Chain A
């Protein structure tokens, strides 16, 4: 189920990172670099989002020679919508944090 308010901060980070290029295919390591998540956190999130129909996944041939194909991920329409809501929530959180800091 896609309830952004129930999604963890890591899920929102991941969705927001994928939203930068919503129709592009993303790879595990690149997503980990973009979000700062470890593979131990990233892969369970990817599996969960894929189970919920928010991500498409497929095997893609890499550009370099002699390397095995990579598992790639892309947001579905539902995923894009959830990612947009997550992005808004993350932005709101940042505003609240900034306000709290300035109030101190």
Chain B
């Protein structure tokens, strides 16, 4: 055993102990597995490389992999918020000609609100259902807090002040709410519910048709 080799082995041992400590609360059995396996790795350099990999695995397991579903939920929420803005803007531009804006301002009529819900909110809700289904596929877990996290990101995005005419987003939202309460509430509630329903339906369908390969002995 050379001096430099012993040095590498000592570092490897410290690294693996650190990896085991990082992993101990999340996966105690696996933390012991990492520690014990180092004794069976021949060669000091290989042991060092093995230990570095163990540190990577422990951090990845403790932090990244555990938070991956939540990160996916946040990403889906953000993507949905951007799509919502783009699609609702496009739909509004297509469906709301100039004459309608003036007309809607002077006629606070329930039918106009319903028209808005059908023309804009329902397509957005369909988009939300698709986002929920996508989240269920990518998250690979049934936790119901995930679609809520997506909705939370979307709502926060709605509340963030945007430049241009919407200097104070809350005020604009409030004015919208006062002017057309039904469509404003529906504009949040329907897509929110659709996202949750899309997520739940996809999870239920996947649970109902589990792949044959998951069967235990």
Contact = CB atoms under 8 A, between A and B. Distances in A.
A95 B195 CA distance: 41
A4 B213 contact: yes
Given A38-B53, A40-B52, A71-B32, A78 B213 contact: yes
Interface in B18-53: 27, 29-30, 32-34, 36-37, 39-41, 49-53
A17 interface: no
A70 B52 contact: no
B60 A40 contact: yes
Interface residues of A, number: 33
Nearest to B56: A40
Interface string A12-46: 00000000000000011100100000111111100
A47 interface: yes
B54 interface: yes
A71 B61 contact: no
Interface in B50-92: 50-57, 60-61, 65
A99 interface: no
Interface residues of B, number: 33
B13 to A, nearest CB: 13
A57 B32 CA distance: 13
A40 B213 contact: no
A1 B211 contact: yes
A33 to B, nearest CB: 10
24 contacts: A1-B206, A4-B213, A27-B37, A29-B40, A29-B50, A38-B53, A39-B34, A39-B49, A40-B52, A40-B53, A40-B55, A41-B57, A43-B30, A43-B34, A43-B53, A47-B27, A47-B30, A52-B214, A53-B214, A68-B36, A71-B36, A77-B215, A78-B214, A78-B215
Interface of A: 1-4, 27-29, 32, 38-44, 47-48, 52-54, 57, 62, 67-71, 76-78, 81-82, 85
